[in-house]
Amino acid sequence: MHNVVFDTNVFVSALITPRGKSASLFLHADKYLLVISRDVVKELIGVLTYPHLAGKYAVTPAMVQDMLLKLKEHGTFITPKETLSLVSDAMDNHLLALAKEGHADYLVTGDRELLGLKRIGTADIIAPATFANVLER
């Protein structure tokens, strides 16, 4: 079983594109353990409740609530102690610390700056499509 950190953009993409690669990752949730933090959940709630996003993609409060319940049920919550400054975005640095301290095998993201790092600790930093291929093996 893989330990995995998902960037917020993976969750958002899964909700707004239910037939896309990010959404397909949740069909294989029995093949990985999601490592998550309260800060990731806070950011996810903030992004999913943006009026622009909710209006444009028909993201309903029920959809947000369902995703949050699944995270609580299937995620392992940790609070990284280390503060990293490897990239320009504070939340992306938090994800890197989460992957490192959560002994993740993968950090899955669509963020080009994070993808450019390629690795943090034990985690390969990969795109959702690449992780979908890993799960299909």
Task: Read off the pLDDT of each residue in 36-65 and give the average, rounded to a whole number.
Answer: 85
* Domain 2-136 -> CATH class: alpha beta
Q: Are 59 and 16 in contact (CB under 8 A)?
A: yes
Give the total residue count for the chain: 137
Residue 90 pLDDT exceeds 80? yes
- How many other β-carbons are positioned within 10 Å of the β-carbon of residue 27? 10
Read off the DSSP letter of residue 31: G
Residue 34 pLDDT exceeds 90? yes
pLDDT of residue 103: 96
pLDDT of residue 5: 97
Q: Give this prediction's pTM.
A: 0.91
pLDDT by residue (tens digit) across 105-133?
A: 999 999 999 999 999 999 999 999 999 99
